[in-house]
Amino acid sequence: QVQLVESGGGSVQTGGSLRLSCAASGRTLSGYVMAWFRQFPGKERELVAAIRWINGVTYYADSNEGRFTISRDNGKNAVSLQMNSLKPEDTAVYYCAVRVGVDVRIAASSSYNYWGQGTQVTVSS
């Protein structure tokens, strides 16, 4: 079992920045991919970014337009998502997720084994 606890959500104005963090516990993460998803009301969760724990290889959804950066902290067993130049359309609940494997391009939420509780990000115009 892997437990995930997210933090860092909140409200910002357009153009602002937020940094989300996700602390993992329960087992070592080598051999896992950690990712951030987001979910808009009435929509399926969509992949934002993913990182392969063992070597830091990353993958980003095109919708990020280079504004988001995913990173890991081996010492803290945590992953972060730095979000810059935020737009109102980034408003969503953001989830941290973990899956067994190494392919960072898998975007299906059903492929992920463990999920955090979600954190709200609201961007006002």
Above pLDDT 90, what percent of the chain?
Answer: 85
Residue 47 pLDDT exceeds 90: yes
Q: Are 64 and 75 in contact (CB under 8 A)?
A: no
Phi, psi of 64 (to 5 degrees): -70, -25
Residue 37 pLDDT exceeds 90: yes
Residue 29 pLDDT exceeds 90: no
Q: What tens digit of pLDDT does each residue of 71-82 get?
A: 999 888 999 999
